[in-house]
Structure 1
Amino acid sequence: MNPPPPQLWLNALLAAIDHAQRGLLRLWHALGLTGDSHGQPAWPWARRVVGETLLIDLGLARQLLWCLAAIVVAVLAVGLSLAWKRRRLPVLAIGALALVIAPWPSASLVLGPAVPTSFHTSPTNFDVGTIARGEQVYAAHCAACHGADGRGEGPLAQTLTRWPPTIVSPLLGRRADGEMFWHVLDGMRDARGAITMPAFAGELDDRDTWAVLDYMRVLSARTGAIVFGSWPVPLRLPELTVQCGGDAPRSLAAWRGAQRVRVVLADGLADGRRDTLPLEDPRFQTLVVTRDAQPLRDVPQFRAACTAVSPAAWDVFAQIAGIEGKRRIEGTTLLSDRDGWLRARAAAGEDAALLCKAGDGGGTGVRQDLTALVLEMDAEPVRFVKGGFVH
């Protein structure tokens, strides 16, 4: 995978543009100048600044940066002229000169098509229950064309005017959530107006649409791990409910941002044997995931006692792990960094391998010492491009 551009100024420019557009949308909505679309403020214009183009055309990005600097100079000149009336004309002349000599880029290169939901964000929090619901939606409405594995080779794919895109790709993962949401409901057409993907607005509601988008991320990770040995796009630790011994259940989100998480898929605990539970590791907060999603009782000292009590957790993590064939899913471990990004996987009896490196995802799949892996996770935080902007 190609990492985000290393130029700090470009990352800062993209972040500023993204924040500016979202801020403008919030202002327009607060002033009542735009309404809602699918429960969130609707982008009122047919165009938006496309970070995707700026990422691949550094010359264009530099032009835009100089133009923004010229605008800042002009605004400062106007403000200074109001306060310094004796030098008003020279100061205004400097501001005007900055605007004249600025290398204004073509609007057609900087602006691209937008839809009302371009800046929508998913309200699901990537919850395991929503992902499980999305799997059902995908099987019923998407698999026939996109394939059960998401590689675009479903039984109806060859009947379409254009072959379905694979979702096991960083290209699809870079698309903004809101635009993916819109395309699912509104469909897609080619340059001649022919339908390349049917609209599902009459069949799926908002909840199901967000759910299937969540599941597509899991499916992408599963197929990527099986076929390529890596996760094509960064994947957050799914949201679920955790219970530690006799404590009250709480959200897994409480762990994010403070500590690394080790997820262990441990089955066969129904016989009461707690000595098979993983030992605690001071480098991680350990989460045990079982098929029955029942809280653990009478856990021996130094053994992991926190378990996922969300019923869909086992199936979701098993798919993310991407373990198949003769390798056992029981005992598989997934590791996340302090920011909540899943980074590595270790099948039962194997060393861990980094499946998501800094950049757009995609790891080496090379097994390495756990301490070295942890150090690499901490030294290289995940940064990836989504919707044309670096996250």
Structure 2
Amino acid sequence: MSGPPPQAWLNALLVLIEALQRGLLALWHALGLTGDSHGQPAWPWTWRVAGETLLIDLGLARQLGLTLCALAVAVLAVALALAWRRRRGVLLAAGALALVAAPWPSVSLLFVPAAPTSFHTSPARFSVDTIALGARVYAQHCAACHGTDGRGEGPLAASLAVWPPTLAGPLLARRADGELFWHVLAGMRDRHGQPTMPAFRDRLGDGEAWAVIDYMKALSAGSGSAGNWPVPLQLPEMAVRCAGAAPVALSAWRGGQRVRLVAVDGASALPFEDPRFLTVLVTADGRPPAQVPRFRAGCTAASAHAWQAVAAISGQAPARLAGTQLLADRAGWLRARGTPGRAWSDADLVCVSGPAAGSQRAPSPGADGLTALLLRMDDEPVRFVKGGFVH
């Protein structure tokens, strides 16, 4: 009899580890043992559990899982021993045996350096507005070293002691958002204490630092090669206006439905409505089409920043964006990117996680390319761990 798939118990373990760490942080903060950093409770220790390592090292993850089970047995044995005196010796011996037999993982592998903001989250939603603000901040402060495309080949890169890392790879996925935030404001140093990235705390506010992280996520997707994105992206928040009604936040309007974003210009034919998903038109100025024929999609992103954000995510120049489509699943993850004049197919998937990552499967008999794509999105939900934290 085989055990559960690795992702099942591994996801449960990662969720438990994150919950334990966040619970410990909340307790420390409630007891007044740690203060605030940038408006949120500060992680008081210099180390945290390396969830990102557990994700790729199943041996270490099993060791930690079994050790946690042994600790639970020892705690239960002590609790029973306090209540059952006649068997106290046996119970305490059983608890001690569990601790001795536990495969204690290596401390050097289990923990990684942490920052006071490691467990911080952005106070603003990932949105077209934060992406637009982040684009301006990035162009002013980051592009000279990291390059306009995020590949680390800016005009100043060659003059640096350490070549800037590329944002098109898995770098962003390996670091928690709170730690990226810390490094943006506090800078980075190598193991010898020499600065490798300047600190921007005197030039950027907290909101600008969070915004540039949002833009880097979009840039990572747009700069990546064809295929699986290095960092899964949520559907960015935006205001949507339908048939002259007042704008409504996309997150409230979609109601857990799939969403299709379609970039259209004055020369584009409006797409047909499709009951399989909600369609949002993205225009360069945020204005709805003058006339919407019957059965055509008419709901429009009300923000002019939506065009720029979709261009960054899809990796297209804004002038060539018309006709590009993005599909989001029911959980709000962007999963597929369509190009003008080409039918949907399995090759359009840009976000595949779990055991199916990097694989193709035979299409369902009788299903067209788009239907097969939607069925696969439903069957293979995103399992994403960023910086060791489950999303």
Offset of 1:360 from its aligned partner? 10
The within-5 A match list for 1:155-234 is 155-224=155-224, 227-228=225-226, 230-234=228-232
Range moving further from structure 2, 295-304 or 64-73: 295-304
Structure 2 spans left out of the alignment, 5+ residues: none
Matched, 1:277 2:270: yes
Range moving further from structure 2, 242-251 or 146-155: 242-251
The within-5 A match list for 1:246-261 is 246-255=244-253, 258-261=256-259
After superposition, the CA RMSD in angstroms is 2.5
Tell me which residue corresponds to 1:342: 334
Offset of 1:175 from its aligned partner? 1.1
The within-5 A match list for 1:141-156 is 141-156=141-156
Matched residues in 1 for 2:121 and 2:173: separation?
14
**2:369 corresponds to which letter in structure 1?**
D
Whether the 8 Å contact between 1:345 and 1:355 is mirrored in structure 2 is: yes
**2:181 corresponds to which letter in structure 1?**
F
Tell me which residue corresponds to 1:312: 305
Matched, 1:322 2:320: no
Structure 1 spans left out of the alignment, 5+ residues: 270-274
Offset of 1:295 from its aligned partner? 4.0
Whether the 8 Å contact between 1:264 and 1:332 is mirrored in structure 2 is: yes
Matched residues in 2 for 1:82 and 1:243: separation?
64
1:351 to 343, 357, 361: 343
Whether the 8 Å contact between 2:226 and 2:350 is mirrored in structure 1 is: no
Give SS of 2:342's match. coil
Give SS of 2:6's match. coil
What does the per-residue CA deviation read over 1:178-212, in whole Å, with 9 as the maximum and x for residues that have no partner?
00011111111111111111111111110110011
Q: Percent identity among equivalent residues? A: 65
Change (3 A) 1:71 1:61: same
Range moving further from structure 2, 351-360 or 111-120: 351-360
Matched residues in 2 for 1:330 and 1:223: separation?
18
**2:83 corresponds to which letter in structure 1?**
A
Range moving further from structure 2, 23-32 or 210-219: 23-32
Offset of 1:57 from its aligned partner? 2.8
Matched, 1:299 2:292: yes
**1:38 corresponds to which letter in structure 2?**
H
Matched residues in 2 for 1:259 and 1:363: separation?
26
Matched residues in 1 for 2:254 and 2:24: separation?
30
Whether the 8 Å contact between 1:237 and 1:342 is mirrored in structure 2 is: yes
Change (3 A) 1:291 1:145: same
**2:295 corresponds to which letter in structure 1?**
F
TM-score normalised according to structure 1 size:
0.90
Matched residues in 2 for 1:316 and 1:360: separation?
30
Whether the 8 Å contact between 1:355 and 1:364 is mirrored in structure 2 is: no
Matched residues in 2 for 1:259 and 1:158: separation?
47
Offset of 1:24 from its aligned partner? 1.2
What does the per-residue CA deviation read over 1:148-179, in whole Å, with 9 as the maximum and x for residues that have no partner?
10000001001111100000012333310000
Matched residues in 2 for 1:211 and 1:244: separation?
28
Matched, 1:333 2:331: no
Matched residues in 1 for 2:103 and 2:131: separation?
47
Matched residues in 1 for 2:90 and 2:360: separation?
62
Whether the 8 Å contact between 2:172 and 2:217 is mirrored in structure 1 is: no
Offset of 1:217 from its aligned partner? 0.9
Matched residues in 2 for 1:314 and 1:122: separation?
23
Matched residues in 2 for 1:92 and 1:362: separation?
46
Offset of 1:74 from its aligned partner? 1.1
Change (3 A) 1:71 1:363: closer
Change (3 A) 1:198 1:120: same
**2:81 corresponds to which letter in structure 1?**
S
Range moving further from structure 2, 133-142 or 81-90: 81-90
Whether the 8 Å contact between 2:7 and 2:354 is mirrored in structure 1 is: no
What does the per-residue CA deviation read over 1:122-147, in whole Å, with 9 as the maximum and x for residues that have no partner?
12211111111111110111000000
Offset of 1:388 from its aligned partner? 2.0
**1:79 corresponds to which letter in structure 2?**
A
Change (3 A) 1:365 1:122: farther
**1:354 corresponds to which letter in structure 2?**
L
Aligned residues: 379
Change (3 A) 1:189 1:328: closer
Matched residues in 2 for 1:389 and 1:210: separation?
17
